[in-house]
Structure 1
Amino acid sequence: MRGLVWMKDGGAEYAEVDLGAELTAVGVAIGTDPVPYRLEYTLRTLTGYVTELLSVRVHGAGWHRALDLRRSVHGAWSCETKEEGNLGGPSPGGDVNALGDALDCDLALSPLTNTMPILRHGLDANDGRIDLVTAWVGVPHLHVTRHPQRYVHLAQGRVRFEGEGFGADLTLDGDGVVADYPGLARLMSGDASPAW
Structure 2
Amino acid sequence: MGTVTPAKLSGILPGSSVILKFTPEKDYSLYSVEINGSKVKDIQPSAVEVQYTYKDIKNNILVKPAFVETLNLLISNVLNNSPWKLKSMNIYKDDGTFLFSFPLLQEDKEIKRYFYYPQGEVKMYYPDGSLYWSSTWSISGNNFRLGGGDMTIIELTASRLVFKAPPGADPTTGIINYAQYTYERN
TM-score normalised by the chain length of structure 2: 0.28
Which structure has the larger Rg? 2
TM-score normalised by the chain length of structure 1: 0.27
**Higher strand fraction: Structure 1 or Structure 2?**
1
